């Protein structure tokens, strides 16, 4: 198995219509590769299991990112 997780952040200011705004960005990326597997059916079973799990994980991550950006205030 290989795993690569990265988080990038950026904060900047911009002007729109005479008003100024501060933009805070968080980008998260995680790539995991599992295997090798002896046959296609085994790999496809893991693929289905991972897809179901990633949906739940994505929702939890969205909530954590929302809380992190709210904590920045403003």
Q: Which domain holds residue 55?
A: 2-71
pLDDT in tens, the chain (74 residues): 678 999 999 999 999 999 999 998 889 898 989 999 999 999 999 999 999 999 999 999 999 988 988 887 75
Residue 40 contacts residue 23 (beta carbons within 8 Å) = no
pLDDT at 74: 57
Total structural domains within the chain: 1
């Amino acid at each position: 198995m290989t795993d690569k997780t990265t988080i990038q952040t950026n904060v900047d200011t911009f002007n729109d219509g005479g008003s100024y705004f501060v933009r805070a960005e968080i980008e998260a990326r995680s790539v995991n590769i599992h295997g090798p597997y002896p046959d296609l059916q085994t790999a496809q079973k893991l693929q289905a299991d991972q897809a179901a799990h990633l949906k739940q994980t994505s929702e939890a991550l969205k909530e954590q990112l929302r809380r992190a950006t709210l904590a920045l205030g403003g």
